[in-house]
Amino acid sequence: MKRTQLFLVVGFAVAAAFGAIWFLPIQGQVIVTTGNAAQTMVFPQTRLEPHGQAADLFIADNVAWSNVGLGVNGKLFPAADWQANPNRVVTWRWELASNDLNGELVFYHSCQTGCVERTRLMLGKANSIVEANQWNPTKLGVVSANPNRDWHGRSGWDVEMTYSTLAEDKESGIDELARHVYRADAQHLRVLVRVDYAPGQTLPPANDNVALSQYLNYARRLARDARLRSVYGYIIGSGFNDPASNSPAPNVLVTPEWYARIFNGYGEEVTRTDNIIQVIHQENPQARVLVGPVRPFKMQQDGTTKYAIDAPWLNYMNTLVALLDETARAKMQAGFALTAPDGFAVNAPGRPNAPELEGHAAADEPRTDLKRAAWNGAQAGFRVYRDWLDIINAYPTTRGLPVYINATNTFSPDEGIVPAQNYPRGWLTSAYQVINSEPQVQSLIWFLDEDQSADGRWDAYSLTKGIGRVYDAAKEFDELLQR
C-alpha cells in the first residue's frame, strides 16, 4: 500500500536580483495525495522574471479564463499576451514597471460579469499594521473624497457614483470605480456607491423593461465584483422625483410605483426576482441596498398615500415607503428573505437665509425648526431629515432602519444659492452636533470634496477648492475630524 504524503506547494519564487522585494503574505495550498507527489501540479502558478528595474509577471492556470486582468494597487491591467501550453495550461504575461513592483497584485478573471479573484501576491516590504482602534468611526463624510485628505485617524464616509450605461467607460466605468474604492479603503473610509442608470437619468425610464434589464445586470456585476466587496452599501438612484433627474426622458417620470418596482418588485408576481435588492443579495447577501434619496422641496411629483403634512415631496416619500413595505411583507410571506430595504439615503439641505429663522443665527439653522406655513408646516431646511425619519419609522419593515445623509450643504434646490455664496461659519458644526445626537442617522456627508468635472461646475461646493465661504466649511470639516 502506498504511503499518503502531505505536501505544501508554494506558488512562486522570488528572483535573487530583487533581494529587497518580499512576497507577503506567503500563500500556498495543502495537498493530500497518494503516489508520486512530483506528478502533482497546483494552479495557479506565478513566476516573476526581472529585467533591469522592471519585470515580467507570468501566471499559469489550468483553466482558460476569459476577460482576465491584473489588479495593481487598485488599477486593472490587461495581459500583455498569453499562450496555450500542453495539458490545457494557459500562461498570461504582464509587463510591470518599476513603480508597480511594490504593492498588492491580484489576478482576476471573468471581469465582463464582475471580476472574480483567483490569486494574489504582495511585492515589496510589509506595511506596518494599523490597529483598528486607531481609526475611530465618525459620521462625517464627503462625496468624491480627495485621496490626499488628512482624516486625522478617523474612519469617515465616501460617496462614489457609477452609471450602468458607462460600465466600460475608461474615465467613469466600473474599473475606475474600483480604483476609487481601493484608494478609499487605503484611507479607512466606508464607501457608499450611488448606482445611476445614465448621466441625467438616475433610474431606467418608467416601464422601459429593456433599460431595467440593463440596470439590473449592472447591479449584479457590481455585487459580484471582488474589487467592490468592501463597499459599505449601494444607493439606488437619487432625486428621482425631480424632472432634472429624468432629463433624457422628461415625459416618462419615475413614479413611486416604478421606483418600488425597480427596488423590490412591486406590482409583479411575488415570485419574480428581477429587482435590485434581490439581484444584489443573490450575489452578495452581506451587501447593503439603500433606498435612494427623494429630493426635498420639489413640487413636480406627488404621491397617492398622503403624509400627515401635505407636501408633494413628503407624499412621494410616504407613498414610496408604503409600497416598499407592502412588497417586502408579501415576499416574506412567500418565503423570500432580504427583500426589505437595508436602509435609506436622504438629502438634508440647509437654508441659512430662511425667513423662519426669526432672529436665530444662520449657523444655528440645523438646530431650528423651519416649519413653512405655505408648505402646510413641512420643514424648509436641514431638519427635513426629521420628516424623512418620521415616514421611515411609520412602516413595519422599515421602522428603525439606518438612515444616511448622503448629501448636505447650504444649497436648497428651490433657492439656487451655492455654498460659496451663503455658507455661514459654524453651520457644519451645528449640523454635526445635531446628527451626533440621532442614533438612527449614521452619516453626515458634505457634497462635495473633490470636484472632478471637466468644466468645474461643482467648484462652488468643493471643500478641496474652498472657494468663497466654502473656505470656512472646509476649515470646520478638518477641525471636527480632530475632536
pLDDT digit string, tens, across residues 25-70: 434 444 344 444 434 578 999 999 998 889 999 999 999 999 999 9
Residue type, 395: Y
pTM exceeds 0.95, yes or no: no
Mean pLDDT of 219-240: 98
Mean pLDDT across the chain: 90
Q: Categorize the per-residue pLDDT at 104 as very low, low, confident or very high, splitting at 50, 70 and 90.
A: confident
Q: Which domains, ranges and CATH numbers included, belong to the chain?
A: 4-123 (2.60.40), 132-481 (3.20.20.80)
What is the rounded end-to-end Cα distance, in angstroms, of the chain? 70
Cell numbers found for residue 143? 462625496
Peptide bond just before 424 cis, omega within 30 deg: no
The answer to whether the CB of 458 falls within 8 A of the CB of 451 is: yes
Q: What are phi and psi of 161, to 5 degrees?
A: -130, 145
The answer to whether the CB of 49 falls within 8 A of the CB of 55 is: yes
Give the whole-number percent of the chain exceeding pLDDT 70. 90
pLDDT at 130 over 70: no
pLDDT at 336 over 80: yes
pLDDT computed for residue 15 by the predictor: 38
The answer to whether the CB of 480 falls within 8 A of the CB of 435 is: no
Q: Categorize the per-residue pLDDT at 7 as very low, low, confident or very high, splitting at 50, 70 and 90.
A: very low
Q: What are phi and psi of 352, to 5 degrees?
A: -70, -15
Q: How far apart are CA 309 and CA 318, in angstroms?
A: 10
Residue found under cell 428603525: 400
Question: Which has more pLDDT, 381 or 26?
Answer: 381
pLDDT computed for residue 52 by the predictor: 85
Mean pLDDT of 124-132: 52
Residue type, 119: T
Q: How far is CA 172 from the centre of its chain?
A: 14
Q: How far apart are CA 159 and CA 79, in angstroms?
A: 31
313-335, pLDDT tens digit by residue? 999 999 999 999 999 999 999 99
